[in-house]
């Protein structure tokens, strides 16, 4: 990519937690999401992301994204890693769910 990315990492928890200064607690925004289930190595995710964006555009869907001087700022754009690398070492079998929030 031509620019650096601002990325947040998260984990699922059973109930809301308080942050401690080092860890910031938060929640995903509610709304409608377009999703894609991808099977393949992490280096194939860029193509999957492009496919999902192209498909959404062909359906007339608009994402929750706005321009900024640093680049596009997404309201919620997720890559959810479903495979435990300790249990499945074959990268070509890794499963990832893409979920991009739609504009209201």
**Segment 17-45, tens digit of pLDDT:** 888 988 888 889 999 999 999 999 999 99
| Segments making up each domain of the chain, as ranges | 33-101
Q: What six digits make up the tokens of 84?
A: 């435990």
pLDDT at 9: 85
Stated as kind and residue range, the H or E segment containing 100 is strand 95-101
pLDDT at 4: 76
Q: φ and ψ at 54, to 5 degrees? A: -65, -40
Give me the residues of the chain with pLDDT under 50, please.
Answer: none
Predicted model pTM: 0.86
Q: What six digits make up the tokens of 10?
A: 């998260």
pLDDT at 1: 59
CA distance 79 to 61: 19
pLDDT at 64: 97
């Amino acid at each position: 990519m031509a620019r650096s990315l601002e990325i947040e990492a998260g984990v699922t928890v059973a109930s809301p937690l308080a942050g401690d200064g080092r860890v910031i607690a938060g929640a995903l925004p509610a709304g409608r999401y377009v999703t894609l289930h991808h099977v393949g190595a992490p280096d194939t995710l860029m193509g999957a992301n492009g496919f999902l964006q192209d498909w959404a555009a062909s359906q007339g869907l608009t994402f929750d994204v706005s321009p900024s001087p640093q680049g596009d700022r997404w309201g919620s754009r997720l890559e959810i890693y479903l495979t435990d690398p300790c249990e499945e070492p074959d990268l070509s079998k890794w499963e990832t769910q893409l979920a991009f929030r739609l504009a209201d």
